[in-house]
């Protein structure tokens, strides 16, 4: 009985738990409206566009972008090194990155291995540090993605890109250090072959995978991290040990955007390819009903949630939690986002009203780097840097 006694919570502790569970979100707010076109304190600025010429050798494709952004990229990489040195003051982690991880670049698939080497050459940043920068998205992101269909059958796809969780809190500025330093690296990319657009994406300069993209007149795609015990750390560790039958998430989305020939082709590739890390793939098409969230473990598809307007499902929404499970109490962006979408109604859904949803706290939070709005027609893409004024949820 003594063991049972120690396991039970005291009435005071139960009261504290109840207050956490049922108290209103201190950072929440009523659904925002008329925030588009972006302006005011939540708007940080526009994003430049660069052409990535796929006809160039892989090692040369990123030279122009690195010429403009290498200083900002060096700042972010140094921040990551400083964080590593905080936990491992001996400097051995950075030494491993600069030497051993650099040698593993040769094990990455073509053309990604050569592109990473090219970025290292043109930026002057050690190759191992460029590789680590590209690995970080596999394990350090929290995002919100939406695909919605209006009454005419037109599809809209949008996302908040949230990055930098636990990577250095700036007490003076009340912000995540890495989140702030990443904003100057956000770019829109137009990948072209024979002077024609193959696909477009919103990226961090120096990252060669894809987190948000559109293949004009075919499909739109975003990727969200999926928290799991069998997570990205495991897959990356296996890769280092020599097991390389899984694909990096960002490389898969890049490959799909470049090579998939239809919405269904993209859906099949995203659902069936073995991964290094669990993920959510949020996919939109060009025809009514073409929208879904694909929930992936590293080896299998666990769920596909499709749009179905006939059954009342006119939008699908994904943060970082399985839809059949409640989100983490301290990170519930799903409920307020769904509330705002339901208040908007299908009759009024559009990119501007979805921007309102993504501008409502805590969907908008201290980790939010940017908001991307996409329509499949002609590959329409808009990206805006964001700011979350206090009071604002840290995630």
Do 47 and 184 contact (CB within 8 A), yes or no? no
Alpha helix positions (H), 307-384? 334-344, 351-358
Local structure of 85: helix, strand or coil: helix
Structure tokens at 268: 């099949």
204 beta partners: 186
CA 40 to chain centre: 24
CA distance 292 to 113: 31
Q: Is 143 a catalytic residue?
A: yes
* Contact present, 169 and 176 (Cβ < 8 Å): yes
Three-class secondary structure of residue 78 per DSSP: helix
> Which single residue is written with the structure tokens 């409502």?
360
Bridge-based pairing state of the strands 291-296 and 301-306: antiparallel
DSSP-derived secondary structure for 87-137: H-TTSHHHHHIIIIIHHGGGGSPTTHHHHHHHHHHHH---HHHHHHHHHGG
Annotated catalytic residue, options 143, 292, 388, 392: 143
Give me the sign of the Cα torsion angle 76, 78, 82, 88: positive
Nearest to 203 by CA among 279, 294, 133: 133
Residues assigned a catalytic role: 143
């Amino acid at each position: 009985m003594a063991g049972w006694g120690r396991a039970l919570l005291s009435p005071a502790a139960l009261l504290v738990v109840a207050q956490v569970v049922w108290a209103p979100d201190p950072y929440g707010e009523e659904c925002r409206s008329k925030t588009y076109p972006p302006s005011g304190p939540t708007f940080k600025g526009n994003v430049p566009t660069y052409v990535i010429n796929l006809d160039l050798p892989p090692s040369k494709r990123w030279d122009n972008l690195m010429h403009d952004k290498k200083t900002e990229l060096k700042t972010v990489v140094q921040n990551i090194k400083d964080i590593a040195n905080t936990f491992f003051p001996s400097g051995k982690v950075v030494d491993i990155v600069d030497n051993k991880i650099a040698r593993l670049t040769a094990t990455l698939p073509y053309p990604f291995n050569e592109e990473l080497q090219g970025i290292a050459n043109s930026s002057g940043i050690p190759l191992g540090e460029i590789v680590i920068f590209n690995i970080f998205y596999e394990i350090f992101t929290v995002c919100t993605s939406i695909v919605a269909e209006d009454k005419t059958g037109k599809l809209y796809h949008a996302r908040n890109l949230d990055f930098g969780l636990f990577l250095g809190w700036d007490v003076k500025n009340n912000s995540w250090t890495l989140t702030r330093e990443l904003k100057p690296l956000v770019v829109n990319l137009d990948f072209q072959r024979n002077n024609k657009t193959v696909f477009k994406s919103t990226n961090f300069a120096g990252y060669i995978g894809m987190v948000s993209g559109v293949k004009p007149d075919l499909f739109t795609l975003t990727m969200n991290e999926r928290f799991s015990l069998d997570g990205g750390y495991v897959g990356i560790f296996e890769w280092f040990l020599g097991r390389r039958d899984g694909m990096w998430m960002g490389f898969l989305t890049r490959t799909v955007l470049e090579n998939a020939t239809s919405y269904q082709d993209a859906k099949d590739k995203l659902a069936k390819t073995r991964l290094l890390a669990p993920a959510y793939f949020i996919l939109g098409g060009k025809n009514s009903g073409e929208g879904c969230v694909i929930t992936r473990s590293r080896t299998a598809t666990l769920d596909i949630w499709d749009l179905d307007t006939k059954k009342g499902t006119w939008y699908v929404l994904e943060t970082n939690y399985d839809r059949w499970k409640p989100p983490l109490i301290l990170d519930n962006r799903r409920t307020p986002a769904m509330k705002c979408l339901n208040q908007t109604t299908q009759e009024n859904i559009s990119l501007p009203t979805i921007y309102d949803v993504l501008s409502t706290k805590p969907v908008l939070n201290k980790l939010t780097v940017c908001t991307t709005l996409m329509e499949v027609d002609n590959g329409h893409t808009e990206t805006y840097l964001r700011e979350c004024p206090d009071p604002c949820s840290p995630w």
